[in-house]
Amino acid sequence: MGKALRYAVVVAGALMMLFPFAWAVVTSITPDGAVLATPPDFTPDNAGLDAYRRLLETLPFWRILVNSLWIGVVSTLLQLVTSAMAAYAFARLPFPGRSVLFAVYLATLMVPLQVLVVPLFIEMRALNLIDTYFALLAPSIASAFGVFLLRQAVAQVPKEFDEAAVIDGAGHLRVFVSVIIPLIRPALATFAVFGFMASWNSYLWPLIIIRSPEFMTIPLGLASLHGQFTTQWNVVMAGSVVSVVPILVLYLFAQKHVIASVAQSGLK
């Protein structure tokens, strides 16, 4: 009975999590006249892909999708490199003020992006980078959360591995590349998922820094589908469904490493 109750709770939770996605898919194939029907119908008549066709006609959606993909990939790779190197330095290299500097760096997590928008915009304007791809990438090159997450992973690697590599003649770079990186691969995969999702869903900074339609990302494209007086919700949901697919694929590929990272760290 207890096992059956646990399964029932898990299934109920899974259905609650999946309902918004199922609703988005159903709405995206629902004709215009039936989108706002009361009560809602999960089996709409004359269902079709007309909303997806209109999505491609309304926006340069493939260009927007490519923008978000390559910005997300490059941003994630840069964060992985900078965060892993900083994590190794904080976990393995003794230097004066290391704990204080790490605490100050973590304190930046409490500063929301809304506070940083104005100085970042002024900086980009001074560098003449407004409405460029680099302006989209610049704020996400480093991540305090990534440094914290990967530092914890590096700290759990026994130092005896480092010492054995040093005895064989390895320096810090060789230890970092050949010993530390392979052993923290689950944490790297977990952070890659978080970093890509943050870049993929970023809305405020692209809204402020981007002017040209050819530089638009997925959140900006979906926001532009909202009309002043009426909104074609089936077209909006079609865009939402397409935007979820890359995140879903990424998580399916990284799921094994994410679970391994959680199991190793003991985090819930």
Amino acid, res. 101? L
Cβ atoms of 195 and 146 within 8 Å: the answer is yes
Q: Which residue reads 């970023």 in tokens?
A: 202
Give the Cα separation of 144 and 71 in Å (integer).
19
The domain tally of the chain equals: 1
Q: In terms of Cα–Cα distance, which of 206, 220, 223 is closest to 130?
A: 206
For residue 256, being part of any structural domain is answered with yes
Chain centre to alpha carbon of residue 41: 32
For residue 184, being part of any structural domain is answered with yes
Residue positions counted in the chain: 268
Q: Tens digit of pLDDT per residue, the chain (268 long)? A: 889 999 999 999 999 998 988 888 888 888 877 777 777 777 777 778 888 888 888 888 888 889 999 999 999 999 999 999 999 999 998 889 888 999 998 898 888 888 889 999 999 999 998 988 899 888 888 899 999 999 999 998 898 998 899 988 888 899 999 999 998 988 898 899 889 989 998 989 999 998 888 888 988 888 888 775 567 888 888 888 888 888 888 878 777 766 666 665 544 4
Hey, is 210 helix, strand or coil? coil
Give the Cα separation of 204 and 69 in Å (integer).
18
User: In terms of residue numbers, what domain contains 126?
Assistant: 58-225+242-265
For residue 234, being part of any structural domain is answered with no
For residue 153, being part of any structural domain is answered with yes
pLDDT in tens, 76-134: 999 999 999 999 999 998 889 888 999 998 898 888 888 889 999 999 999 998 988 89
Residue 134 burial by CB count (10 A; 0-12/13-18/19+): exposed, middle or buried?
exposed
Give the Cα separation of 220 and 201 in Å (integer).
10
For residue 252, being part of any structural domain is answered with yes
CATH number of the domain that 168 lies in? 1.10.3720.10
The 3-class SS string of 78-123 reads: HHHHHHHHHHHHHHHCCCCCHHHHHHHHHHHHHCCHHHHHHHHHHH
Give the Cα separation of 141 and 72 in Å (integer).
11
For residue 2, being part of any structural domain is answered with no
Model-wide pTM > 0.85: no
